[in-house]
Amino acid sequence: MMRRRLGDALAGAILLGLLALSIRRTGPLPALGPFLDPANGVWSVARQAELPPSADGRIPGLRGPVRVRYDVRGVPHIFAASETDAIRALGYVVARDRLLQMELQWRAGAGRLAEFAGRALLPIDREARQLGLADAADRRIASLAPDSRGRHLLEAFSDGVNAWIDQLGPRDLPLEYHLLGRRPARWAPVSSLYLLGRMGWTLALSDLEENHEAARALVGEAAADALYPVNSPIQEPIQPNGQRAPREDFRPLPPPGRAEVAAGRPAHPREHLPALLAGLGNDAGRSLDALGSNNWAVAPARTRDGHALLAGDPHLELSLPSIWYEAHLVVPDSLDVYGVTIPGAPGITIGFTRDLAWTFTNAEADVLDRYEEVVNDSVAPTRYRVDGRWRPLRLVPQSFRDAAGALVAVDTMRYTHRGPLSRDGSGRWQSMRWTVLESGDELEAFARAARARTAPAWLDSIAAYRAPAQNMLVVDRAGTIAIRTTGRFPLRPGSGRGDLVQRGDTSASDWTGDWPVATLPQAINPLQGYLASANQQPVDPRVDARYLGANWYTPARALRINELLRADSAVTPDAMRRYQTDPGSPLADRLVPAFLHAARRFPARDSLQRAAALLAQWDRRYTRENQRAVLYEEAIRQLAPLLWDELRSAPAGLSAPATPGTAIVLQLLRDSSSRWWDDRRTADVVEDRDAILADALVRALVQVVHRHGDPDAGGWRWEKIRHANIYHLLRLRSLSALDVPVQGGMSTLNPSSGDGSFGPSWRMVVELGPEVRGWGIYPGGQSGNPASSRYLDRLDTWSEGRLDSLFVPKTADEFGARSRSELHLEPVR
């Protein structure tokens, strides 16, 4: 009897324990009951993994039936009777495949991640709010006229997303909602604007002022200006400058000067971002060489088949699911556009129609200025002074809640007439003016552009686009190729420079206007027969010396694209594809000889001679099988601290400045005895160029042997070393694609550096012949469901540098064997 009672008591305890675990979260564990439930819990994710052969849905507001046919690649082709119906359907199908991603992205832009995933994300939320992104989006939507096309598009998209969300039962939720124990929030029209603001954060948040201040504090004004110059010393501009080769404008670098006292440390949001979520403001692993993008176009005269060709290749953070979603929208006699959209945006971002194709690279222009303000209270100011008068600050209370809805923090955002005001660590108050916070009607511009029939008409349609500024490349069926650096570029008073902190107490510091569209860097049908951009300085300062930015990317990718296109007068679509993963490196072509030359100066150093011999074996191509790129890359890595020792220490109240660009190193190579070469840590020796290069090379060999073994033992193969790492949005490793081998490296057209989490996000080639033909690929797949065959199905193709042929039907009846699934959407009656 006693034994039985003990057994009963044990069963009771187990039952109570199980019930406790079953109905509520315990630490990171979701509530076990609803989670493990094989019908309604996490296992239902597998049931929803594949598209059914046929499905039906209803969307409020739909004016007529919409037919959606998915092709074998999982791309939805939406056939609707009106543009707004097509956008409603787009919202529905994107939510069907990418709901979690959409929710994370809008929350990241709105500063409301903690409400979804817990208070650990509070720092990211604070950053988003401090940047003013949510406030800007709220004001933007309030300013849209009720009958404006932009508002109609936002509302139509929202209708579609919510139609999907509203019919979701527990067994329809994406995996991550089960893990987090959350339900999706409904979509609001402003959610799309939050998300687009988030893109502005990624693409247009610069730190030029902070960098310049830190450098000036360490090495003086003249040196700071030279290390982070307004004009790139290598000119291969986007707007052709009439030269048939890059123009090098190398000048002697002024020696490190006396440190200047810095007033304090400007606030910079990025340094506070915790490494919590990929793609949500975390810049860990971000490398300048892997960010940025490429695009180029070739006029019919230089293509084999006589049709204009376009290649697009935006480089962004790689994530699973991908930042892009492929879709095709067809409205008879009105719209027929194929391309990729950012999940959450009501339209196609990059793509093509039957008449033209377009793509972007980031302009990297300076569209953010900081102003040091005089305020009435150093702790909680309510006013700021301009031209001797106090003006009231606009105060916007902020509250932050956790996933349980509890209030976890409050704050007050302050705004001057310029933008958000924040205080840095040394107590200075700075306001920020940023074009991203004053964006225009980009959605309407995109919608109009998708209906354009010619490249010039497309450029006219998109002229209202303001931020984030892009190098917009377009080609049409008539053979026109055109590019324009499009966006809002401020006109500044005085020197016009925006890379220095400005005085806030005078209105004379304020922007005086914007560059007129007609004066933006641009070109149409240039004599050279092609156009290319890769985030380089867009216009040669000899052509137009106005300030557009500073500390530009070293134009390595631009050099290589131009080199390839100059050499090929019969370009084919396949050549365009090959160029996208071309392994050549113009920087290695310039730097390897410098290392080898340095080694010859010290013939008695055995380790140096061995390293040089190994480096000389490299063909300077980042092919997967090469076994010497690793030595070169390590030598470059070792060179930085030896060469830039003057910049290593952070002055009081400042963070250390960024490593100067490779173009500056190339500039310095011309001056073998520049004082920059001296390593000041060796007090009794004055090193010159060759001594430092030799030292870097020897150190590199030691490091590479230590990490990867002997040179010919196989461990130096590039494919074993250089990988893309494509993380799931929640950084869950088992849902990520890690250690994916790639062809490419630092500064190649297929860039890969840092931790490999940035890179080519959507490669596209389009031929504008009698019938448009398109090819494309992104890493990942259309579905955000990790149980789906469409989650990772494109990864191998992407990794190998191949492209999928894109199916672009004119009608819903052309599919044949290409049909994978069909969705019928009807209005709610």
Partner 1 sequence: MTGRLAGIVLAAALTAAGTWLVGWWAVIAVAAAWQLLSREGPAWRAAVAAPLGWGLLLALIPLAPLGRLTERLAGVLRLPAWALVLLVLGYASLLGWSTARVVGAFTHSGVRGSSSRR
Q: Please, what is the minimum distance in Å from the beta carbon of residue 17 to partner 1?
A: 9
Cβ closest to partner 1, residue 36 vs residue 686 = 36
CA 600 vs CA 234, 613, 706: distances in Å: 27, 11, 25
SS3 114: helix
Cβ closest to partner 1, residue 1 vs residue 406 = 1
Q: Please, what is the minimum distance in Å from the beta carbon of residue 16 to partner 1?
A: 9
Cβ closest to partner 1, residue 42 vs residue 473 = 42
Q: Please, what is the minimum distance in Å from the beta carbon of residue 459 to partner 1?
A: 45
Residue type, 269: P
Instruction: Point out which residues pair with 571 in neighbouring strands.
Output: 303
SS3 content of the chain, % helix, strand, coil (to 5): 35, 20, 45
Q: Please, what is the minimum distance in Å from the beta carbon of residue 12 to partner 1?
A: 5
Closest of 492, 495, 563, 483 to residue 525, by C-alpha: 483
Instruction: Point out which residues pair with 234 in neighbouring strands.
Output: 248
Query: Angle, nearest 10°, between helix axes 149-166 and 189-204?
Result: 110
Cβ closest to partner 1, residue 733 vs residue 829 = 733
Q: Please, what is the minimum distance in Å from the beta carbon of residue 176 to partner 1?
A: 10
Instruction: Say whether the peptide bond before residue 468 is cis (omega within 30 degrees of 0).
Output: yes
CA pair distance 588, 581, nearest whole angstrom? 16
Instruction: Say whether the peptide bond before residue 65 is cis (omega within 30 degrees of 0).
Output: no
CA pair distance 400, 129, nearest whole angstrom? 10
Cβ closest to partner 1, residue 169 vs residue 405 = 169
The two structure tokens encoding residue 694: 């030799």
CA 6 vs CA 9, 10, 12, 14, 449: distances in Å: 5, 6, 10, 12, 76
Q: Please, what is the minimum distance in Å from the beta carbon of residue 72 to partner 1?
A: 16
Instruction: Quickly count: other Cβ atoms within 10 Å of residue 234's Cβ.
Output: 25
Q: Please, what is the minimum distance in Å from the beta carbon of residue 172 to partner 1?
A: 14
Q: Provide the 8-state DSSP code for 243.
A: -
Instruction: Say whether the peptide bond before residue 321 is cis (omega within 30 degrees of 0).
Output: yes
Q: Contact at 8 Å (CB) between 473 and 533?
A: yes
SS3 56: strand
Q: Provide the 8-state DSSP code for 584.
A: B
Cβ closest to partner 1, residue 44 vs residue 130 = 44
Cβ closest to partner 1, residue 624 vs residue 790 = 790
By CB under 8 A, name the binding residues for partner 1.
Answer: 5, 7-8, 11-12, 14-15, 18, 22, 32-34, 36-43, 45-47, 49-50, 170, 175, 179, 732-735, 786-789, 791
Q: Please, what is the minimum distance in Å from the beta carbon of residue 115 to partner 1?
A: 22
One DSSP character per residue, 391-421 reads EEPEEEEEEEE-TTS-EEEEEEEEE-SSSEE
Q: Please, what is the minimum distance in Å from the beta carbon of residue 93 to partner 1?
A: 19
Cβ closest to partner 1, residue 470 vs residue 785 = 785
**How far does CA 429 lie from the centroid of its chain?**
29
Q: Please, what is the minimum distance in Å from the beta carbon of residue 286 to partner 1?
A: 25
